Amino acid sequence: MRKIKHFLLLFGILLWPAQNIYAVAQGAPTKILVLGDSLTAGYGLGPEEAFPAQLQRKLVRVGRQVQVLNRGVSGDTSAGGRARLNWVLGDKPDAVIIELGANDGLRGLGPNQLRDNLDAIISILKARKIAVLLTGMRAPPNFGAKYSAQFDAVYPSLAKKHSLPLYPFFLEGVVSEPGLNQKDGIHPNSRGVGKIVDQITPYVLRLIDGLANK
């Protein structure tokens, strides 16, 4: 009987899919959730061209075992991100990249409202011991200098308050560059997303490495 049990156990292991054995050997991947709007959802792009997919490929190429989840919703504001946060946290991420605020700026919504929503999101994530990378956004110029100054200041002030890493401007080097944007002049094309990924990767690597040191 003991020999039969040993044989069945060995037979079961041999039949177990190779990828499952590899996953156990390597450990579970670090799960990074991207909470954002159309800039991360991949508006006008194929799924594999969107920011989360390109970021995952980049991180794997540099030797990190990760799964990057696309939880961007086109048209979403900071209020929308806040409203659906508990639902997306069902994915049980290890870290969250917050990319919200572009639509707040386009609609001229109050900077204090933006601050309150992002503050609430960050507070929930910190309470759950989920690492956070905050990405900044800049207000469009059509609402005036005062509005822009108040809007743009939200991100560094929250990063300082919560001691978070901040990627200062999500569209750095891409905004207003025709060759890196789609015809609407707002959303990055695949090349534009690739540039964003290249620039933000060092910040994400520090985020991942910080998890390993906890």
Tokens at 163, concatenated: 């001691």
The active-site residue, picked from 104, 123, 184, 209, is 184
| 187 labelled catalytic | yes
The active-site residue, picked from 37, 38, 94, 152, is 38
CA distances for 66 relative to 58, 145, 207, angstroms: 10, 40, 12
The active-site residue, picked from 78, 91, 187, 190, is 187
| 162 labelled catalytic | no
| 6 labelled catalytic | no
Whole-angstrom distance, CA of residue 150 vs CA of residue 155: 10
Q: Are strands 131-135 and 95-99 parallel, antiparallel or unpaired?
A: parallel
Tokens at 49, concatenated: 């061209």
CA distances for 140 relative to 60, 102, 110, angstroms: 35, 9, 13
Query: Who contacts 186 (Cβ-Cβ below 8 Å, separation ≥6)?
Result: none
Query: Who contacts 10 (Cβ-Cβ below 8 Å, separation ≥6)?
Result: none
DSSP string, 83-135: HTHHHHGGG--SEEEEE--HHHHHHT--HHHHHHHHHHHHHHHHHTT-EEEEE
Among all residues, which ones are annotated catalytic? 38, 184, 187
